[in-house]
Structures are given as structure tokens and as C-alpha cells.
Amino acid sequence: MRSSSDEERCNVVYAIVKAGGRQEKVAVGDIVVVDRVSGDVGDKIELTPLLLVDGEKVTSAAKDLAKVKVSAEIVRDEKGPKITILKFKNKTGYRKRQGHRQKLTRLKVTAIA
């Protein structure tokens, strides 16, 4: 006899995709934050799938993944938190201060087909 958690595990569909230089686990309706993607808000983009899990069936072969499409929509562009870099050399008076904010894009996964 199967428990409800076993049934939920059989119905789960998710994919591991390559997005913004990293790998992200996504399902339909998920919102992920990745490095900046070119495009306007509302544009549809395709993400490269590396693995697909459909219930108990796992697909990782390149020829099978070529048929899989993971679609996402650009929700908005944003910036990450401020990072402060300080350089200091002792006894010379050398001090250098620099800041950085990473450019990011928020994506909403619309379909895994």
C-alpha cells in the first residue's frame, strides 16, 4: 500500500536546468533568480535542461533531453546586495574601497514539455 507521500513523489515533474552559469532545480510556476538575461520584461526564453524527472522516470540522455523544452518568462531585472571590497596595505597609507552589485533577472517557469 502506498502512502500519500509516495503518490506525491510519483506525480512530481521537475527539471534541472542550466541558467545564468549555474544549475537550478525548477518546476512549473517556480520563480528563480539568475544572472542577467538579455530581453525585456514579459519576454519568453528557453532554458537548457540537463535532467528531467517525471514521476519515477528520470531522463538524462542528451538525445532525449533535446526533445524537452523548459520555457520561462522574464518577470523583472534587479540588482543583488551591495558587496564592499576594501584593500589596505600596512604602513604606506594605501587604502582602496570599491563596491559591486550583481545584475540579476527574476524568471518564472511557465512550462516543462
Regions of the chain where pLDDT drops below 50: none
- Please, what sign has the CA dihedral across residues 69, 74, 77, 83? negative
What are the E-state strand segments in the chain? 13-19, 22-26, 31-35, 44-54, 57-59, 70-79, 83-89, 94-100, 103-112
DSSP secondary structure letters along 77-107: EEE---EEEEEEETTTTEEEEEEE--EEEEE
For residue 47, give the nearest of 66, 72, 24, 27 by alpha carbon: 72
Q: Would you state the pLDDT for residue 21? A: 86
